[in-house]
Amino acid sequence: MKKSFLISIAVILIVAVIALFLHGRHQEVLDGRLATPVPLLQELVKPGTPLFITPEFLPCLAPLSSAQQALFPTLEDSETAGRDKSPFWRLNREHHYGALLVGASPAWHSLTESLLNSPLWVLSDVSPWGYLFKPNRSGISAWQIPSPRELESNWPRPADRGCFLILTAANLAAINRLPEAEQLLDMADTLHTSPSLILSTRASIAASRGHWEEAVSLSNDALHADRGNKAAEEILIRALIESGQTDQALDRARDLVSRNREDTEDLFLLARAANAAHSDKEEIAALAQLVFVAKKTKQPVGASLTYLGQAYAKYGDRGSALRTFQEALQSPELTEEQLTMIRHIMDHLMEGNTPSSSLPSLPPSGTNP
C-alpha cells in the first residue's frame, strides 16, 4: 500500500482511540447518552422508517422491541454496505432508508466519504457516536456547531459537556472538518475538565495537517498532564516517525506493545515504526502478530496480509511473500484495485518465469505465527 494510505488509516485509528480512552476514563460518571448509543437509537426508530447503521451499533438494539429491531439491516448487510458504497446504494434503493448512523471507524471511511459528497444525503448531526445522515429533503438542515446556550441546556454538567465536545471534535477531525473541530476544542478548554485529552486531540489535528513537530510537542504536553493518555502516546509515535525521529519512535512503540500484545492498532504502529527504522525482522514480527490477533478476533485481515507480504518481499523472503499474498487474495473486503495490485506484485516476484496464477492453492486456513 502507498505510504499516504498508511498515514490516513493511522490518523483515523488514533481518533478512534481517543474516543475509547475518554470513555474508559469517565464511564462511571458519564451521562447515559455518552455511555451508550441506545438513547440515540431509540430516537431514530420513532418515525418507524427503515434505518441503516454500521455494525458496531447492532449489539445495542437489544433494548428495542422486535418490530423496532426489524427496521435495521442484518449484520451481513451492515458489514458489506459499510465497507463498500456500492452495496449500500443497492440496499438504499430497496429499503429507502429514513436515516443513516455511520460510526467513525476507518472501516466505513469509503461509505462516509460517498455520503458526504452525495447530493441525496445531508450530514444532519455529528456526535461522539459518529455521523447521522438524513435524506436531502425540505426541512432537513445540515449540522452546525451548537450554541453555548444549547450546549449548556443539553449537557448541564461541565464534565459531560467537555466529553461531548472533545469526542465530537475528534469525529469532525476524522472527516477533515478541522476548523469546526478546533472551535469545539476551544469551547472544551473553557471548562477545564480534560486538559490532557484536549491536548491529544489537538495533536491529532496537527498530525492530520502534517505539522509533525507541533504534534510531537502537543502529545508530550498531553502526556505531561496525564501519563495514562494512551491516545497521546500513539499520536506521539506517529509524529516521531514522520519527523524522522525513528529510533525514538521505535523504542516507544516497543514499550506500548509490550503492555498488550493483542492491541491491533498498537501492533500496526510498531510495524510502521520498524519500517521507518529499517528494522525488517521486527516489522515482519509485528505484522504477523497483527494478522494472528485479527484472525482470532474475526477482524478483516486483507490489508494486514498485504502489508505483511510486502514486508516479506522487501526482506527477500519470496516464498513467504507469495504465500501471504495468496492468502490476501482470499479476503472479501479488498477492492478489485487492491487485488489487481497484489497480483502484479506476485507476478513480479515470480520473476517472469510463470504467472502467479499457476501457484498451487493454499489450504483452507492460513498458518498462524
| Domain contains 207 | no
Which of 145, 167, 198 represents a domain boundary (last residue)? Answer: 145
| Domain contains 115 | yes
Q: Is the pLDDT of residue 12 over 80?
A: no
- Alpha carbons within 13 angstroms on the beta-carbon side of residue 257 total 28
pLDDT band at 225 (very low <50, low <70, confident <90, very high): very high
Alpha carbons 237 and 269: distance in angstroms, whole number: 8
The DSSP result for 43-75, as a single string, is HHTTT---EEE-GGGGGGGTTS-HHHHTTSPPH
What's the mean pLDDT when you consider all of the chain?
A: 88
Q: Is the pLDDT of residue 120 over 90?
A: yes
Angle between helical axes of 230-242 and 246-258 (0-180°, round to 10)? 150
Alpha carbons 344 and 48: distance in angstroms, whole number: 49
For residue 3, what pLDDT is reported? Answer: 37
Percent pLDDT > 70 in the chain is 87
Residues 160-172 have a mean pLDDT of 92
Give the count of domains, the chain: 2
Residues 73-102 have a mean pLDDT of 94
| Domain contains 282 | yes
Which of 130, 145, 160 represents a domain boundary (last residue)? Answer: 145
For residue 355, what pLDDT is reported? Answer: 62
- The C-alpha cell at 42 is 431509540
| Domain contains 140 | yes
Which of 145, 163, 196 represents a domain boundary (last residue)? Answer: 145
CA distances to 14, 174, 259 from 230, rounded to whole Å, are 10, 18, 11
For residue 362, what pLDDT is reported? Answer: 64
| Domain contains 93 | yes
For residue 352, what pLDDT is reported? Answer: 63
| Domain contains 176 | no
For residue 5, what pLDDT is reported? Answer: 31
| Domain contains 213 | no
- Look up the pTM and report it: 0.81
Which residue range is the domain that position 317 belongs to?
263-358
| Domain contains 117 | yes
For residue 277, what pLDDT is reported? Answer: 97
Q: Is the pLDDT of residue 360 over 70?
A: no
Percent pLDDT > 90 in the chain is 71
For residue 356, what pLDDT is reported? Answer: 63
CATH number of domain containing 328: 1.25.40.10
- The C-alpha cell at 117 is 459528497
